[in-house]
A and B are shown apart, each in its own frame.
Chain A
Amino acid sequence: MRRHLAALLLAPALLATAACGSDEGQSPNAGEADKVTVGVIPILDVAPIYLGVEKGFFEKRNIDVTLEQAEGGAAIVPAVVSGQYQFGFSNIVSLLLAHSEGLPVKMVSNGNNSTGVDGEDFAALMVSADSPIETAADLEGRTVAANTLQNIVDTAVRASVRKAGGDPTKVKFTALPFPEQPAALASGQVDAVFVVEPFQQAVLGQGGRTIASSYVDTAPNLTVASYFTSQRILSENPELVKRFTQAMQESLSYANGHPDEARAIIGSYTNIARDVVARVTLPKWPAEVNRDSVQRVADLALEDGLLKEPAKVGDLLP
């Protein structure tokens, strides 16, 4: 939130610099490792890149990675486009929106996927124990908390409502950060929440029920998020991007094959308690973007009115 506020307060001051573009790019130095900064969100989903850095998958490709934590995909996109970060991690809806508004972003690697198993995903649409809501269709006229609006979360929840035979336009959304959602649900301030791990465990702990696995309802093996870069980095240093993609793919495959190590590293960059980390459902980390699922999400975003015109998904995909 503070970031939003700062953006508003700083706006007039930044205006002065509007005319001058930013010229700081990354100049590749032969021999030396390329220093890149990657904007990530401190959640389970990015465990592979932390693991990959630790395992030296980037180092051996001559990339010196610094991981910067940010609040969400929508905050990382501007940082990557302005050149502050070279790569970033974002949910695919934010990327689709950014791309459709003309921001020069390009996916370079898969991020993470749903488990594809209904009822056993790392994210869930949940209600409190005594709620009369049985299916996602019952959410018509109800309020659902989502961490931010206009991203993969509300798109996925609408997909669940639609799948259950409800009218997704009749569902109201309230932006509420994940950590505050379990309490808001318990006190009845919202009728349902869409939470990811570890907050899914928190809601389960207070007796909450899962009414839908929205990421599973959206598309089979949905690619939820991906790593991306700017067109400028891509055209100036395509070879660096290629090495980054390879390192990411190795990291993703490794994390997918070594869930225990993934759990261990999650404990290092989040504040999630050890016993909770052992319990959480991990996402899947395939090496390749599920292209069909991105197209499906683009179609849904168009149907929901998030996108004003069909997205050029082919231009965005790696």
Chain B
Amino acid sequence: MTAVLTRVGLALGLPVVLVAVWWFASAGSTDFFFPPLRTIVEVFGPTWFGERLVDDVLPSLGRLAAGYAAALVLGVGLGVLIGSNRWVRAVTEPVLEFLRAIPPPVLVPVLMLVAGIGNGMKILVIISGCVWPILLNTVAGVRAVDGVLEDTCRTYRIRGTLRWRHLVLRSASPQIVTGARQALSVGIILMVISEMFAASSGLGFTVIQFKDGFQIPEMWSGVILLGLLGVLLSMLFRVVEHQVLSWYHGSRTAQKER
């Protein structure tokens, strides 16, 4: 019980201190562009918990979910293919390194020509950034399949779907999850960026509109909302990760205890 309290205390300690510092340092601020935190907090509710939740926040999250899911399927699928075949790997690796080095924001104008300015373009932008950490981690994970396990599978003639599911994907899953975690934060960034181009709804769009309309406290509240969403999504991710990788964490703990 005390251990749990300590952990919660440690996790919340710094944020509480930072918020307090911000609150008091900005309390008397008359600077137009850095309003007191109190003002920002006051506008937060009215700004976001109304029409905007449906008109802007949900579309943003929808596009993020779609892009992220597509990147997961694409990344894991291609990753398994590339990772398990030496020739494919040799051919694709230089290209992959090149592609992943391109910052997705510069692709936006290009994607706009190909996919227009609607949701498709925004989802493509998210995919174009999220897919790389997943893909490359999957490749690494698939390559690092334990040799003894592989031999065992072969000995028992475990082949096809069974082998993919229980040997390849299973042993690559810790790496895949690592990639997926990186991709999530990339996805949030790209969700915002994609909405700064040719948008008419979304969180990034709304924040820019507040800036252009000189509604600075509202703009800050959007920035804070994005941060909170990031925290929420990473907590959600941790829950999912716990489910998916329970066998892995279990085996690690068992090894340590030995």
Contact A81/B200 with A150-B209, A306-B213 known, Cβ cut-off 8 Å: no
B212 touches A174 (CB 8 A): no
B117 touching A184 by the CB < 8 A rule? yes
Q: What is the CA–CA distance of A34 and B34 in the complex, to the nearest angstrom?
A: 30
Nearest A residue (CB) for B27: A19
A238 vs B216: C-alpha distance in the bound complex, in angstroms?
A: 29
Give Cα A19 to B29, complex, Å: 6
A78 CA to B32 CA, complexed, in Å? 9
A14 at interface by CB-CB < 8 Å: yes
- A4 contact set on B, CB distance < 8 A: 196, 208, 211
The majority secondary structure among interface residues of chain A is mixed
Which of the candidate stretches B69-77, B108-116, B122-130, B230-238 sits at the interface with the other chain? B108-116
The interface residues of chain B lying within 8 Å CB-to-CB of A7 are 211
Given contacts A19-B26, A175-B199, A184-B117, contact A14 B213 (CB under 8 A): no
Interface flag for A103 (CB, 8 Å): yes
Q: Which of B34, B193, B209, B212 contacts A18 (CB 8 A)?
A: B34
The smallest C-beta distance from B120 to any residue of chain A, in angstroms, reads: 11
Please name 20 pairs of A and B residues whose Cβ atoms are closer than 8 Å in the assembled complex, sorted by A. A5-B196, A8-B192, A14-B34, A15-B22, A19-B25, A19-B29, A19-B34, A74-B214, A98-B214, A101-B213, A101-B215, A103-B214, A148-B212, A172-B200, A173-B200, A175-B205, A180-B112, A180-B198, A183-B113, A184-B198
Q: Are B200's CB and A150's CB within 8 A? A: no
**Residues of B185-237 whose CB lies within 8 A of A:** 192-193, 196-200, 205, 207-209, 211-216, 220, 223
Q: Name the A residues within 8 Å of B105 (CB-CB).
A: 1, 5
Q: Please name all residues of chain A whose beta carbon is closer than 8 Å to the beta carbon of B257 when the two chains form the complex.
A: none
Given contacts A101-B214, A101-B215, contact A176 B208 (CB under 8 A): no
In the complex, chain A residues whose CB is within 8 Å of the CB of B216: 101
Give chain A nearest CB distance to B181 CB in angstroms.
21
Q: Select A103's contact among B32, B118, B212, beta carbons within 8 Å.
A: B32
Chain B residues whose C-beta falls within 8 Å of the C-beta of A21 in the assembled complex: 30-31
A-contacting residues, B8-25, CB 8 Å: 22, 25
